[in-house]
């Protein structure tokens, strides 16, 4: 596991192109309390998905559309990296 101050690099098996930019990897930085600010609280699956996408996008420094466009396997690996960084903030 990378030190908490470092980003975790996740190479994408399936690149994603959003807004004319091709993403072949994402770098997940440690979460900050401000990343959690303004996230909607809800019990529905949709609310939880939206909250997760917004948070991971903030931690990766990419538009939310990039996270929505990820292949499921890539999304799982990016999510695991984000979880590792998030658990140290809460």
Residue ranges of domains in the chain: 8-86
State whether residue 17 is helix, strand or coil: strand
- Read off the pTM: 0.84
Asked whether the CA dihedral 37, 42, 46, 52 is positive or negative, the reply is positive
Question: Do residues 4 and 22 make contact, with C-beta atoms less than 8 angstroms apart?
Answer: no
pLDDT per position as a tens digit, 20-68 = 999 999 999 998 888 888 777 776 667 778 888 999 999 999 999 999 9
pLDDT at 73: 97
pLDDT at residue 3, as a whole number? 56
């Amino acid at each position: 596991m990378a030190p908490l101050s470092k980003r975790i690099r996740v190479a994408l098996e399936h690149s994603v192109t959003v807004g004319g930019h091709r993403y072949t990897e994402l770098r997940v930085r440690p979460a900050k309390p401000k990343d959690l600010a303004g996230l909607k609280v809800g019990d529905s699956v949709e609310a939880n998905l939206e909250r997760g996408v917004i948070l991971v996008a903030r931690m990766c420094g990419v538009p939310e559309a990039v996270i929505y466009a990820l292949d499921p396997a890539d999304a799982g690996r990016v999510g695991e990296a984000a979880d590792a960084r998030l658990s140290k903030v809460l």
